[in-house]
Amino acid sequence: MSAWPRSAKLQPGNHHHGVRQTSNVHTVKKFLIFNPTVYEKNNPYKYLCVSVFVLANHAVWSAQHEPVCANMNDYKEEADCLSTQIDLKIAKFKSYYLAAQKQEVLYGRTSDELIESQEIWEKYLRKHCDYLYSREQGTARIRDSEECQMRLYDERTHEIWISYLTFLDSSKPVLPDPKK
């Protein structure tokens, strides 16, 4: 007897969205994604899947959103801390950016496109984070704007790493993963 319900078994000529389902992998995908019994009310699989999804996402979100400069005594101390954190993010970014430029030259390419895309990204950073600053009042706007800058520098550093400092084969990256 099969562990999968009959509705998940493939029949010859059975198609979904114009793609012929012909392997066990497609059977599993069809069962998990397209089987209406999974989504029925009171189905324990539904609650298990939702619980696992929620817990996994919460763990990932918590790991990525650690509070920065959260236990400061006053505004000045918090502002200094945030400024230092931004400086650290920028320094890390610059090391990855310069390594990416070197890689481009090393492989006989010009770094002009990288430089141009960086200029565009910096305009986006200023526009976006300045908007966050302008929409708030008081000291909260400084925190929002500076957290925006830190978040975007982290994302840009990781994007530079993926695009310019890693290889498609199993070669070691030029620099370590900036998210670790």
Query: Using one digit for the tens of pLDDT, what is the confidence trace for 90-113?
Result: 999 999 999 999 999 998 899 899
Output the pLDDT for position 150.
95
Output the pLDDT for position 30.
45
| Positions in the chain short of pLDDT 70 | 1-66
Output the pLDDT for position 104.
94
Of 41, 24, 9, which Cα lies nearest the Cα of 50?
41
Output the pLDDT for position 81.
92
Output the pLDDT for position 19.
39
Of 83, 63, 92, which Cα lies nearest the Cα of 178?
92
User: How does DSSP assign 62-89, residue by residue?
Assistant: HHH---SSTT-SSHHHHHHHHHHHHHHH
Output the pLDDT for position 79.
87
Output the pLDDT for position 143.
87
Output the pLDDT for position 139.
81
The CA radius of gyration of the chain, in Å to the nearest whole number, is 24
Give the residue extent of every domain in the chain: 6-64, 75-164
d(CA 98, CA 90) in angstroms, rounded, equals 12
Pick the CATH number of 75-164 from 2.20.25.90, 1.10.760.10, 1.20.1270.180, 3.40.50.300: 1.20.1270.180
Output the pLDDT for position 72.
75
Output the pLDDT for position 13.
44
Output the pLDDT for position 48.
55
